[in-house]
Amino acid sequence: MPRMLCLSGLVVAGLVFLLFLVNMIMGFAGLGSLFNYQSLLMDITFILCSAGLGYLSWSAFRELR
């Protein structure tokens, strides 16, 4: 069970990372965005937080082996 929680944390981190990266790129390209492109700072913050979650999930997964 703990391995599944670590893997689900990795999946969630990857999805959040991709979602906000696409949102930021669409805002730069002038194509509109998924969330009306309110703030570049919010996109960067969520990208960094998802990277942190991914790192923590990966390190916890490695300790379970």
Q: Do 50 and 17 meet the contact criterion of CB atoms below 8 Å apart? A: yes
Report d(CA 9, CA 5) in Å as an integer.
6
Instruction: Indicate whether 20 belongs to any domain.
Output: yes
- Per cent of the chain over pLDDT 90 is 62
How far apart CA 18 and CA 46 sit, in angstroms, is: 10
Confirm whether 3 is domain-assigned: no
**Count of structural domains, the chain:** 1
pTM here? 0.84
Position 38 scores a pLDDT of 67
Residue 1 placed within a domain: no
In a domain, 44, yes or no: yes
- pLDDT number for residue 13: 98
Domain that holds residue 53: 8-63
Q: How many CB atoms lie within 10 A of CB 43?
A: 22
Instruction: Provide the mean pLDDT of the chain.
Output: 88
